[in-house]
Amino acid sequence: VQTAELGELSFQEYFVLNGAMPTVTGLRFEQAADAKPAPGVIEAIDRAEVVVIAPSNPPLSIWPMLAIPPIREAIAVAETVVAISPFVGGKPVKGPTDRVMASLGYDPSHAGVVAGYDGLLSHLVVDRDPPDVDVKCIVHDTMMNTPELAASFGAWFGDLWT
């Protein structure tokens, strides 16, 4: 993690030691180009009717996986790729998602999530106010902070694709 205040930090130094407070100016996914997905990962993506990207912090949690070429390539050719926006009510549910996206030049919003996935998405699930973007937006309550809400969302989401 390249930061304005402290230079380059390991992820643990940035996130744990410094509480994710330094301004992120860049990300380097060391050795991602040479990384190999775990056995079965690419086959699972290839077989999936829908690839789902969880409502996590795109730059810090999802981009590292997408930096592994075989994973990105498999997702890029998938017909249906759905991200669930990590923003609820215009703010991230937790963590520094908004600050990190903004400091990397992405609007901390649903539209910024689409831009951050750089053409990989076919759909985006948002809680409200769908952005004017080149993917299909689906509006539904995305707050999943209890097991019951997560189960309800999962049932609704599964029904969309069956």
- Kindly report the CATH number assigned to the domain that includes residue 155: 3.40.50.10680
CA-to-CA distance for 104 and 107, rounded, in angstroms?
9
Q: Which residues span the domain enclosing 12?
A: 1-30
Both 12 and 69 in one domain: the answer is no
User: Above 80 in pLDDT, residue 16?
Assistant: yes
Query: What is the reported pLDDT for 162?
Result: 77
Query: What is the reported pLDDT for 72?
Result: 97
Both 131 and 101 in one domain: the answer is yes
Nearest one of 159, 127, 125, 129 to 143, comparing CA atoms:
127
CA-to-CA distance for 137 and 119, rounded, in angstroms?
14
Average the pLDDT over 21-40 and give the result.
96
Both 24 and 83 in one domain: the answer is no
Dihedral sign of CA atoms 106, 113, 122, 29 in order: positive
Both 100 and 124 in one domain: the answer is yes
Average the pLDDT over 147-159 and give the result.
95
Both 44 and 13 in one domain: the answer is no
Both 96 and 74 in one domain: the answer is yes
- Tell me the two tokens of residue 139: 């509006």
Over pLDDT 70: what percentage of the chain? Answer: 100
Asked if residue 97 lies in contact with residue 107, where contact means CB atoms within 8 angstroms, the answer is: no
Dihedral sign of CA atoms 34, 37, 38, 40 in order: negative
Average the pLDDT over 131-140 and give the result.
96
Both 19 and 79 in one domain: the answer is no
Average the pLDDT over 23-46 and give the result.
96
Query: What is the reported pLDDT for 161?
Result: 85
Query: What is the reported pLDDT for 143?
Result: 93
Both 21 and 77 in one domain: the answer is no
Average pLDDT, the chain: 96
Both 111 and 60 in one domain: the answer is yes
Average the pLDDT over 93-119 and give the result.
96
Both 72 and 136 in one domain: the answer is yes
Both 22 and 50 in one domain: the answer is no
CA-to-CA distance for 161 and 138, rounded, in angstroms?
13
Domains of the chain: total: 2
Both 64 and 122 in one domain: the answer is yes
> What pLDDT digit, counting tens, does each position of 38-65 carry?
999 999 999 999 999 999 999 999 999 9
User: Above 90 in pLDDT, residue 78?
Assistant: yes
